[in-house]
Every structure is written in structure tokens, then in C-alpha cells.
Chain A
């Protein structure tokens, strides 16, 4: 027998000799009374149902996170989107396009800039 398994056997035997302690009479009743008190304080009605639904929804999109986490992520994404939506069009409008199909090219191989009227 190894030291470890002999220690284990020894400890198991020793712990079996500890006197068993039953819960005091009425202990379960005390716990159940605490449940009743909690249940009486528990918010009920439409508002509680709405909050429970909201909590369930937030659990489904971000399990385990407190409610402020998905709310902040959503608010941040909304701000970023709105910010880009406002600033990006004006930035793009300021920039000159390199070429456009609607405007003639800036230079031409056939034109030297000299007007040859006599030809």
C-alpha cells in the first residue's frame, strides 16, 4: 500500500468515527419560512413580468452578463453608427474625385494647348 492510499484509508476511518450530527428539529421549517418571506417580498404583477422578460432577452443575447453590459454595447454601437452617418458624407463630399465619367479628362494627347486655326 502506498503512503497516499494508506493516508486515505486512515483519514476515512478517522472521519467515520466523528459523531453524526443531525440538523436541529425545525431547521427545514426555518428555511421554508425564509422562502415564504422572500416569496412575499418578490415583485409580482405586470412590471415584474416585463422586467423578467427583459432580463430573459438580455440573457439570450449576452448570457451571464449584467443588464448594463449589453445596454452599454448597444448604446456604443448606436453612437458610433450615428457619428459615422453624420460625419462621413461631408468628408466624402469634400474630396475631389480623381476622374469622373461626367467630366472631361484633365489632359489630352491630341491637344497641346496651342490653337492651330490655320490647319
Chain B
């Protein structure tokens, strides 16, 4: 299996700045998008992505091509960063969370694009972390199920189950919004 990043990873580990720049250009934007949606906090997502790249540089010299694909490793590190950060956050009391969900349920008729975007982001935020990760990897990184399962360290069946439950939960949440049918532009 050819890994398009393997050569650049080895070079970056030996101090090749151009190779490092290529890796950053190739991966940073998508990593930031997925981390941003996972954490629902842009600044924290930027920190997480910086941490991922620091880990990459320290491990680059030891990278052995032929094992797992580099991108799989990179996204696994990023997800672990996000899980750690989510778990460090203070937990929200259940009653408070339920109140927030109720407030979100009926935002009024005739949502504009910005409001719709915010409601979708909020619905995504309420999903359990692994369901959210599965959906984000498949949608924003455009992973196939096999690759996403490998990143998350799951069987393909387990990933499909997470995806199905996540999509259903998302649909249930969004259908409660008046004026949102999910069939916009």
C-alpha cells in the first residue's frame, strides 16, 4: 500500500523543513475542521492541532512505512487529543443540559442560514463523543467506513452502528426545529 506521506514524514524527522511544510499544508486545515467540530471551540481546536503536529515531529524519526497509514495515525492522535480535552471539561448537570435542549427545540419559524448552521452545530455538539467522531470522520474527512473504523480502533460493524445511531439522533434533534427539513441548498 503506497503511503503518499511516508517520504515526507521521514524527511521531516531528519530536519527537512520543506517536507514539514508540505505535511502541514496537506493536513492542517482538515484536522482543524474535524477538531473544531469535535470540541465546538475554535481556540481549543487550534491548540489540539498544534499538539498533534508536535507529536508528529517527535515521532517522525521513528516512523516506519509499511505499517498503518500515516494519515490514520495522525487522525487517531487528533481524536485522542479531543477526547482528553472533552473529558477534562467540567460536566454539565443533567437538568441544565435538558433545559438547554428544550430551548433549542423551538427556535421559531423561518430560520435564516446562519441560525440553521448554529442549530446544526448545536445538535452535533450534543451527540456522544464517539458517535460525533464517526460522523465527522465520514463527512468532513470523507473517510470510508474501513478507514474511519481503523482510526477509531473499532470493527467496521461497530463503526456502522455508531454512525447509524449518530445520524438518527441528529435527525431527531433537527426535526424538532420548526422550519428545518434538512433539504435546504
Contact = CB atoms under 8 A, between A and B. Distances in A.
Given A7-B164, A13-B183, A35-B53, A28 B24 contact: yes
B54 A38 contact: yes
A34 interface: yes
Contacts of B58: 38
Interface residues of A, number: 32
Query: Which secondary structure characterizes the binding site on chain B?
Result: helix
B24 A21 contact: no
A31 B174 contact: no
B151 interface: no
Contact of A38 (B32, B57, B174, B184): B57
Interface string A1-28: 0011001101111110111011110011
A14 B114 contact: no
Interface of A: 3-4, 7-8, 10-15, 17-19, 21-24, 27-28, 30-32, 34-36, 38-39, 42, 52, 55, 59, 63
Given A11-B139, A14-B174, A18-B117, 12 more contacts: A7-B170, A11-B170, A17-B185, A18-B124, A21-B32, A21-B36, A23-B28, A27-B28, A32-B20, A32-B24, A34-B57, A35-B17
Closest 5 A-B residue pairs measured CB to CB?
A: A7-B167, A11-B167, A35-B20, A38-B57, A19-B117
